[in-house]
Structure 1
Amino acid sequence: MALDSAVQDLLDGLQQQGLKSFEQLSTEESRAVVDSFKGLQLPTREVAEVIDETFDGPAGKQQVRIYIPEASHPLPVVFYIHGGGFIAGSIDVAEEPNRALANDAGVIVVATSYRLAPESKFPAATDDTFAALKWTAENISRFGGDPTRLAVMGDSAGGNLAAVAALRSRDENGPQISAQVLVYPAIDANAETASKREFQEGYVITSAGMDHFWESYLSSPEDADHPHATPSNASSLTGLPPALVLTNEYEVLRDEGEDYAAQLSAAGVDTTHQRFDGLVHGVYWMSGAVPRSHELHDAVVAFLRDKLKVQE
């Protein structure tokens, strides 16, 4: 399918601005670029309540933000991990999609912070997000949440961390997870796929940029083999929660996400995969610039309402 017209306009604008690939930017510049995605989003919607909480994480105080929609009964919970190539991103950059998700899916969304690379390398991010997931399961009932209906979700690098959180919950006596949502996830540090070659330049994330993210995150090349970095390397995927894996046609991460969906399915995991033709990396955060962003949002909402048994 041809590139979506709104995406083409966006890419043309980025090219005219002279935006460089991430491997050519400093860490501070990369973080500023990722933060600028807030400018590509629709105005934030009101939710009934937004609460900022902190808890004692593995390396000190850690922040979570809780979005609570209007409801009078215990609500399912979505634990959300932001993307940003392991080096950038924050709770703030996903404020708009998280508010929309809480309202439309009828769930409490808990968005977590985590230590970023290169200052904090693997396994800091997965240790932080897993700790925040356990905190959520133990504490969300205080905010009207139902810890027995808990999903993990992330996009891009956050999709990696969400997949790893599901693995760790299974293997380390963690919370019972009802569903996992992986939005164009970064799965394999050593991926050599057709999509990584075909879309290596010109589509928001380049192949060299993705390699740079992994090099910034991993402490050594050997870390790439660890299933907490590359979840597709787990000895078994059996027993993982039902999964929704979303991929986009024009992007380097497409094939590794689809390969992981196939692995999950082959392991007997209830897996739904959907590819969005004509779209590129990052559109989940582009609701204002790319109208078709709602297609990813709607797919997530439908899946979560089904798997978490959201009441009408």
Structure 2
Amino acid sequence: MPLDSAVESLIAGLAEQGFTSFEKIGLEPTRQVIETFVQLQKPPEDVAEVIDARYGDHPEQAVRLYVPEGDGPFPVVVYFHGGGFVGGGLDVVEEPCRALANDTGALVVAATYRRAPEARFPAATDDTFAALRWSFASVAEHRGDPERIAVMGDSAGGYLAAVAAVRARDAGLPALRAQVLVYPLIDPVADTAPQGVRRGLRHPPRRPEVVRRTVHRLAGAVTDPWLAVNRTPSLENLPPALILTNEYDTLRDEAEDYGRRLAAAGVETTVSRFDGMVHGVYWMSAAIPRQKEYRDAISAFLKDRLAPDGRRGTVSPELAT
């Protein structure tokens, strides 16, 4: 399928402004560009309350809670932002987190984590797992229901959410209700783009060089068990999963393969590919009208899995588009 027309216009506009790629502009400019994604978003929606708090102590990290309208107790979505492990933060995901709270009626807990290269792997996975532990212990204070918690993340945050789900299972934490992985990075060591992406774009994307450097030079040993979540010895007894991928995305195939592996392990799994779309659109509600399709898919999935009766979906190892 051709590129979505809004995506094509956005790419053309970035090219006119002289933007090339993250691996060419360097670390600090990459972080600055990621923060400008707020300019591609709609005005943030109102929510009942926004609460800033801290979690952990090695070192202490920021967490921001978005409370929807209502009396509660609310289901909870613990959300980890993307940014290639090196960028991103709470401000750039303010708009999507507020929308997520309103769409789902859930208390959204958005967590920061230590970023590379200042913090080596597995700092980010340790932090985000600590944020999940904090959520189980603390959300009741903010009218959240600790028995109805899901994890969610986009891109690198999708990887962190997937790892948190596995670690929660292995640590014997209460069962998560769901995991939502939005075009997730699953295997940071891989360095190839899918063949369909190569054929579909004039200049096919490569895995961002900044991510590859983070893994190979800065992040730690490539044999670490948490480095590639698809290599986890067992994927059984993980929470129901929704995995969203894009036709023109260098992370597409590994994410879809992870969905098939989850389904083969008996995990209730839905994998949906968005044709004509590229990486990053979940943060672009104003620039990309079809971003609403991601919101709708996420909302429908989470409302079912976070309902008081705990309704479950069905195993779906095939792609649904």
**TM-score normalised by structure 1 residue count:** 0.93
1:208 is displaced (CA, Å) by 4.6
Q: SS state of the match for residue 109, structure 2?
A: strand
Alignment of 1:192-211 (within 5 A): 195=194, 198-199=197-198, 206-209=205-208, 211=209
Counterpart of 2:276 in structure 1: which amino acid? G
1:220 is displaced (CA, Å) by 6.5
Q: 1-side partners of 2:62 and 2:213: how far apart? A: 26
Greater CA deviation, 107-116 or 200-209? 200-209
1:199 is displaced (CA, Å) by 4.2
Match of 1:34 in 2: 34
Q: SS state of the match for residue 44, structure 1?
A: coil
Residue 125 of structure 2 is aligned to residue 120 of structure 1:
no
Deviations along 1:230-250, one digit per CA (max 9) or x if unpaired, are 100000101110000000101
Match of 1:61 in 2: 60
1:216 is displaced (CA, Å) by 1.4
CA RMSD for the aligned pairs? 2.1
Residue 93 of structure 2 is aligned to residue 94 of structure 1:
yes
Change (3 A) 1:60 1:203: farther
Residue 282 of structure 2 is aligned to residue 284 of structure 1:
yes
Contact 1:47 1:68 in 2 (8 A): yes
Q: 1-side partners of 2:157 and 2:135: how far apart? A: 17
Residue 269 of structure 2 is aligned to residue 294 of structure 1:
no
Change (3 A) 1:200 1:85: farther
Match of 1:230 in 2: 228
Q: 1-side partners of 2:198 and 2:90: how far apart? A: 28
Q: 1-side partners of 2:41 and 2:275: how far apart? A: 21
Q: 1-side partners of 2:55 and 2:197: how far apart? A: 43
Q: SS state of the match for residue 272, structure 1?
A: strand
Match of 2:151 in 1: 152
Q: SS state of the match for residue 222, structure 2?
A: helix
When the two structures are aligned, how many residues end up with a matched partner? 309
Alignment of 1:1-312 (within 5 A): 1-57=1-57, 59-191=58-190, 195=194, 198-199=197-198, 206-209=205-208, 211-217=209-215, 223-309=221-307
**TM-score normalised by structure 2 residue count:** 0.91
Q: SS state of the match for residue 207, structure 1?
A: coil
Contact 2:104 2:299 in 1 (8 A): yes
Give 5+ residue unaligned stretches, structure 2. Answer: 310-321
1:149 is displaced (CA, Å) by 0.4
Change (3 A) 1:224 1:79: same
Change (3 A) 1:129 1:219: farther
Q: 2-side partners of 1:9 and 1:148: how far apart? A: 44
Greater CA deviation, 190-199 or 178-187? 190-199
Change (3 A) 1:71 1:221: closer
Deviations along 1:18-61, one digit per CA (max 9) or x if unpaired, are 1121111221101001111111000000000000001333x222
Greater CA deviation, 1-10 or 15-24? 15-24
Q: SS state of the match for residue 180, structure 1?
A: strand
Q: 1-side partners of 2:216 and 2:193: how far apart? A: 23
Contact 1:54 1:61 in 2 (8 A): yes
Q: 1-side partners of 2:158 and 2:224: how far apart? A: 16
1:214 is displaced (CA, Å) by 3.2
Q: SS state of the match for residue 212, structure 2?
A: helix
Greater CA deviation, 86-95 or 13-22? 13-22
Change (3 A) 1:39 1:221: closer
Residue identity over aligned pairs, in percent, reads 52
Change (3 A) 1:274 1:139: same
Counterpart of 1:212 in structure 2: which amino acid? V
Counterpart of 2:266 in structure 1: which amino acid? G
Change (3 A) 1:18 1:270: same
Greater CA deviation, 70-79 or 212-221? 212-221
Change (3 A) 1:33 1:294: same
1:16 is displaced (CA, Å) by 1.0
Q: 2-side partners of 1:73 and 1:118: how far apart? A: 40
Change (3 A) 1:138 1:166: same
Counterpart of 1:27 in structure 2: which amino acid? L
Q: SS state of the match for residue 185, structure 1?
A: coil
Q: SS state of the match for residue 221, structure 2?
A: helix
Q: 1-side partners of 2:239 and 2:207: how far apart? A: 32
